[in-house]
Structure 1
Amino acid sequence: MNNKTVQEGKTYAVVAYLTIIGVLIAYFMNQEKKNNFTAFHVRQSLGLWLLYFIFGYVVSGFDDWTISYSFWIVFALLFIYGIFGAFSGKANSVPILGDVFQKLFKSMG
């Protein structure tokens, strides 16, 4: 990706991480111009949000604050990692599952 592509897609890439609605906004706004940088971060954030909801459902069954806090801290760090990557113009995959998200959602973008 060249610098122009990154600069044009940076705003929507950051928006994609903010909420699940942000993923939808970034996805539909990216359909007009087809920016590869934005598409990369939309796939990453969609994977994170889906994983967040699935694990959140499982973690909610436990009545232990250490499990809940660990869940919140891990996902907060993953989202912060993604936001900083998008903001700095880097296409770094989220640790451990980032490449899986790219393959799983490759038809998006």
Structure 2
Amino acid sequence: MTPKVQSILSYIGILWLVAYFGGKQERNDLSKYHLQQGLGLWIIAVIFNIAISVIVLIVPSLAIILSAVSILFLILMIFGIINAANEVRKPLPVIGKMFEDKFDFIG
């Protein structure tokens, strides 16, 4: 698996594991960077979805917030895939800077 494919797959939820385990031999700095960004996006998305789901259980009329947050994370995922496809090392909007130096196990 090429580093470019690893970078693209790192933003697609469960396929992050395929990118991580499938390309250990061919990993470069760009793919490591996108693996960090993709894992960070996934973690933040899961935390937000759980929190908002709990809120919706309490106040069902706020269910529209759940779909709005899901669309926001979809947009961030698309930005990440575009950056990975263009082989650009650019952080995700809003949350990307938080994950640039995290997840040392990826290296």
* TM-score normalized by the length of structure 1: 0.83
Shift of 1:76: 0.8
Partner Cα separation in structure 2 for residue 108 and residue 55 of structure 1: 23
Q: What is the aligned partner in structure 2 of residue 27 from structure 1?
A: 20
Q: What is the aligned partner in structure 1 of residue 93 from structure 2?
A: 95
Amino acid aligned to 1:34: R
Q: Which one has the bigger helix percentage?
A: 1
Task: After the TM superposition, list the runs of 4 or more consecutive aligned residues in structure 1 that deviate by more than 3 angstroms.
Answer: none
Q: What is the aligned partner in structure 1 of residue 37 from structure 2?
A: 44
Deviates more, 1:56-65 or 1:24-33: 24-33
Q: What is the aligned partner in structure 2 of residue 18 from structure 1?
A: 12
Instruction: Count the aligned residue pairs.
Output: 101
Shift of 1:50: 0.7
Q: What is the aligned partner in structure 1 of residue 103 from structure 2?
A: 105
Equivalent residues of 2:3, 2:27 under 8 A apart: no
Q: What is the aligned partner in structure 1 of residue 72 from structure 2?
A: 74
Deviates more, 1:66-75 or 1:78-87: 66-75
Shift of 1:30: 3.3
* TM-score normalized by the length of structure 2: 0.84
Shift of 1:42: 0.5
Structure 1 unmatched ranges of 5 or more: 1-7
Over the residues paired in the alignment, what is the CA RMSD in angstroms?
1.4
Equivalent residues of 1:30, 1:39 under 8 A apart: no
Q: What is the aligned partner in structure 2 of residue 58 from structure 1?
A: 51
Shift of 1:57: 0.3
Partner SS for 2:20: helix
Equivalent residues of 1:30, 1:38 under 8 A apart: no
Shift of 1:40: 0.6
- CA deviations on 1:54-99 (whole Å, 9 max, x unpaired) are 1110011222232112111110110000011111111110112212
